[in-house]
Amino acid sequence: MGKSEFHFQQFSIQQDGVAMKVGIDGVLLGAWVQVHKNLKTALDIGTGTGLLALMLAQKSKQLNIDAVELDADACRVATQNVATSAFSTQVRVMHVSFQEYARSSRRHYDVIVSNPPFFDEAIKPADSARKTARHNDALPLVDFISGAARLLKNTGTLYFIYTSKMQATLEQHLLDAGLHVQQKVYVKPSPEKEPNRVMYAVRKTPGTSTQSTIAIREKGRYSDVYREWTRDFYLDLK
């Protein structure tokens, strides 16, 4: 998924000059997020190319989406991708750090989504933009969770994907911020492998928590479940 332009059914993503290209994590998360007609406001934290914001816009024409991005090049590309889409009136891209936005914004959201940086223990790439996109130096986990909690409506839901290695730490941060796991989906590269990602849906109100698992590939091809989840977005999934 590393090509310079990626065409979906209802929009295209130009990604030249952006550190993090369209990938399975983002597409899977965007496809999983639940949006119904009564929801009016959404926030995409670290929008990158604008992928998640545009996926949300496709899901609901009633949704007004704010997308924040720290990297100037990514912000420029996201703005362009939104402007050339059919959803340009629904999405507002802002060049600002999430910490600053969380402190200053008076808006609260029905839905917050993010594919946040999380490779804090990995070997950091030399490229500074890719480093910012892949590592949590610019957006530490505690800042991400506390900021999202501040901006989330009491009836809202935060959706995000994270590395499975950080579950215990992450879930403690959620509890500290007054957030409760509603749904958790373990993501496996294939059925025989251990999960390497976990998708979360969390809310401010406690309740029953459900868990499930999805495998991305099976027998050398994308799994039937992954195909079903993403069928409204991909043009051709081989």
Q: What is residue 17's predicted lDDT score, i.e. its pLDDT?
A: 82
Q: What is residue 116's predicted lDDT score, i.e. its pLDDT?
A: 87
Q: Please report the DSSP string for 63-122 in residue order.
A: -EEEEEES-HHHHHHHHHHHHTSTTTTTEEEEES-HHHHHHH----EEEEEE-----TTS
Q: Taking the CA of residue 22 as centre, how many other CA atoms within 13 Å lie in the half-sphere pointing to its CB?
A: 26
Q: What is residue 19's predicted lDDT score, i.e. its pLDDT?
A: 81
Q: What is residue 132's predicted lDDT score, i.e. its pLDDT?
A: 43
Q: Are strands 109-114 and 91-95 parallel, antiparallel or unpaired?
A: unpaired
Report the top-level CATH class of 5-180.
Answer: alpha beta
What pTM was estimated for this model as a whole? 0.91
Q: What is the DSSP letter of 195?
A: P
Domain ranges of the chain: 5-180
Q: What is residue 118's predicted lDDT score, i.e. its pLDDT?
A: 64
- For residue 5, what is the enclosing H or E element? strand 5-7
- For residue 52, what is the enclosing H or E element? helix 51-59
Across the chain, which has 238 residues, the per-10-residue mean pLDDT values are 82 90 95 95 97 98 97 96 98 97 97 80 44 58 96 98 94 97 98 97 96 96 96 88
Q: What is residue 119's predicted lDDT score, i.e. its pLDDT?
A: 46
Q: What is residue 236's predicted lDDT score, i.e. its pLDDT?
A: 84
Residue type, 83: A
